[in-house]
A and B are shown apart, each in its own frame.
Chain A
Amino acid sequence: MNDVFTRPPRPARNWALIIGAVTAVTLMTWWSGRGIGFSLTELACNLPGGSRLLVESWPPEFSYFPRLLAPLLETLQIAVVGTVIGGILAVPVAVLAARNLTPGFLVWFVDRNFMNILRTLPDLFWAMLFAAAVGFGPIAGALALTVFTIAVISKLWSESLEAINMGVPEAVRASGGSWLQMLQFGAIPQALPHYVSYALYAFELNVRASMILGLVGAGGIGMVLETQRSTFEYPRVTLIVLCVLVIVLIIEQVSESIRRRLI
């Protein structure tokens, strides 16, 4: 038998794998760059054009600000409605997708695939879909963000739920509790801080997304941004971008401080 104090020799590195991986990534990048016509020289040649745009956009047209208030507020309202409704609907979606809590394989399977479909389709797709269904405007935006919120929270939270200690849920069952009571008193309290944290995260994403959604006519500041851009009012565009930046930063700070207090 081997002496336990013998130091084993350091295993050799797998050079073939390392070189192979580096080569593969390099080739793939080169091939992709060529495919989309990306070239550093062309980029350098076009820089003056880009800088002209920047010069034209500066300074921001601050006098335009009062007319931004209503659409900014609408953007926030779209984000709030989408986060709250999506956050509520995400609860059953997440619970049914958690292997340790789901009542049966079939429910789990259907719900998992439902979740994957929601997540695979981008928020812009949902915005266009709802804009076509209920007309251009904030309702379409709120509906798109509802779906987006369900996708974000349910995926993350179902993983938190799968990681809980199943001892307490079993104790609730042992007291004669039903499946719902097992969830309410045994499972969900353990994962509640995660839920709040993910809901705040979804809200941050939604404020950001509600700007983009406006581009396809789903209400809010994005719709103003799109009209100003298409009429070449670049100083106004700058002001809009600055406003959104400030709002997103504030929301991030606030939700980060709430989150730190939670966990």
Chain B
Amino acid sequence: MIHEAAIRFERARVVYANGAVGLAGVDLSIAPGEFVVVVGSSGAGKSTLLRAVNGLTPLTAGSVAVHGQPVPRKEGRELRQLRAQVGMIFQDFRITRRLTVMTNVLVGRVAHVPGWRAMLNLWPEADREIAFRALERVGITDKAWVRAGDLSGGQQQRVGIARALAQEPAIILADEPVASLDPVTTHQIMRDLVRINQELGITTVVNLHFLDLARRYGQRIIGLRAGEVVYDGSASTVTQNDFRHIYGRDPDAGDVLDEDAAP
């Protein structure tokens, strides 16, 4: 067999019920272990692209496959098994504030333990160990028994990352993971993601709004515009002109995190 893509889109289309076009025919292949940054202005289809990979948003035409297996369009056991190998990180963290950090991270194990064990909160020791190692990897082991809502924004996002890591996933999808964080925390979280990609070899796709972050942390940059891939290339060779093409306008101070390093 030839090298199988971690994620492969073929003529993938998403048209929402209200007629809005999320993806307008995307052909894309992401190799195992790649660190890909997706950029594009608001409404370009970045979230739709990520959510198609784990079936949160089903395609309306075309196909998307994860490690050669087509993503089912209907909820069910097959889709749950696929999702178990794909971790997702969100802009708004999406952790339960009133539960402990540990419980939030163990949610990453739901697809791996018998249903009754999760139901009764009787997690196997091995799964608790996996959760602890996930917390170690993002450096908040000491917070394991703290209420998640009592943590700072950066720490809450680390809980989100630890939950994804607890899945022991082959792929991590991060949808604007730093958009609600301050600049210092932003760089810490981005470095965490890059380090995890390098140490564990997890294929990582990150949606970013800021161009300087994309250039600094991405290996490969994919530019989306109106649901289409309009740029696909190395982060080291992307030019000002490419960004102008992706955004359909001149990038300005609002498109970079560090204003000093404005393009």
Q: With CB as the reference atom, state the residue of chain A lying closest to B107.
A: A185
- Whole-angstrom distance between the alpha carbons of A184 and B103 in the complex? 11
* New A-B pairs, 9, CB < 8 Å, besides A174-B88, A181-B107, A185-B103: A167-B94, A168-B94, A168-B96, A171-B107, A171-B163, A172-B107, A175-B107, A176-B80, A184-B118
Within 8 A of A (CB), among B48-87: 54, 56, 75, 80-84, 86-87
Complex A-B, nearest 9 residue pairs according to Cβ-Cβ distance, in ascending order? A176-B111, A176-B84, A171-B94, A176-B83, A174-B88, A177-B110, A167-B94, A176-B80, A181-B110
Evaluate contact between B81 and A167: CB separation under 8 angstroms.
Answer: no
For residue B81, which residues in chain A have a CB less than 8 angstroms away from its CB?
A: 176
**Contact digits for A30-72, partner B, Cβ 8 Å, 1 yes 0 no:** 0000000000000000000000000000000000000000000
Any A CB within 8 A of the CB of B95: yes
Evaluate contact between B118 and A181: CB separation under 8 angstroms.
Answer: yes
B52: min CB distance to chain A, Å: 12
Which of A168, A170, A176, A185: most chain B CB closer than 10 A?
Answer: A176
- Whole-angstrom distance between the alpha carbons of A178 and B118 in the complex? 11
Evaluate contact between A177 and B99: CB separation under 8 angstroms.
Answer: no
Any B CB within 8 A of the CB of A135: no
Any A CB within 8 A of the CB of B92: yes
Selected from A170, A179, A181, A184, the residue in CB contact (under 8 A) with B94 is A170
Any B CB within 8 A of the CB of A122: no
Which of A172, A174, A181, A185: most chain B CB closer than 10 A?
Answer: A174
For residue A180, which residues in chain B have a CB less than 8 angstroms away from its CB?
A: 115, 119
Known interface pairs A170-B56, A180-B119; A175-B96 also in contact (CB < 8 Å): no
Evaluate contact between B118 and A175: CB separation under 8 angstroms.
Answer: no
The stretch from A8-16, A186-194, A210-218, A253-261 touching chain B is A186-194
| Chain A contact residues, majority secondary structure | helix
Known interface pairs A174-B88, A176-B84; A189-B99 also in contact (CB < 8 Å): yes
For residue A208, which residues in chain B have a CB less than 8 angstroms away from its CB?
A: none
Evaluate contact between A186 and B83: CB separation under 8 angstroms.
Answer: no
Q: With CB as the reference atom, state the residue of chain B lying closest to A184.
A: B119
Q: With CB as the reference atom, state the residue of chain A lying closest to B56.
A: A174
Which of A172, A173, A175, A178: most chain B CB closer than 10 A?
Answer: A175
Evaluate contact between B115 and A175: CB separation under 8 angstroms.
Answer: no
B3: min CB distance to chain A, Å: 26
B158: min CB distance to chain A, Å: 15
Q: Which B residues lie at the A interface, using CB under 8 A?
A: 54, 56, 75, 80-84, 86-88, 90, 92, 94-96, 98-99, 103, 107-108, 110-111, 115, 118-119, 160, 163-164, 167
Selected from B83, B92, B96, B118, the residue in CB contact (under 8 A) with A174 is B83
Known interface pairs A177-B110, A180-B119, A184-B119; A171-B90 also in contact (CB < 8 Å): yes
Q: With CB as the reference atom, state the residue of chain A lying closest to B121.
A: A184
- Whole-angstrom distance between the alpha carbons of A177 and B111 in the complex? 6
Evaluate contact between A189 and B167: CB separation under 8 angstroms.
Answer: no
For residue B82, which residues in chain A have a CB less than 8 angstroms away from its CB?
A: 176
Q: With CB as the reference atom, state the residue of chain A lying closest to B77.
A: A178
For residue B88, which residues in chain A have a CB less than 8 angstroms away from its CB?
A: 171, 174-175
- Whole-angstrom distance between the alpha carbons of A174 and B95 in the complex? 13
Evaluate contact between A175 and B83: CB separation under 8 angstroms.
Answer: yes
Evaluate contact between A185 and B98: CB separation under 8 angstroms.
Answer: no
- Whole-angstrom distance between the alpha carbons of A248 and B174 in the complex? 53
Q: With CB as the reference atom, state the residue of chain B lying closest to A181.
A: B110
Evaluate contact between A175 and B119: CB separation under 8 angstroms.
Answer: no
A263: min CB distance to chain B, Å: 11
Evaluate contact between B87 and A175: CB separation under 8 angstroms.
Answer: yes
- Whole-angstrom distance between the alpha carbons of A180 and B108 in the complex? 15
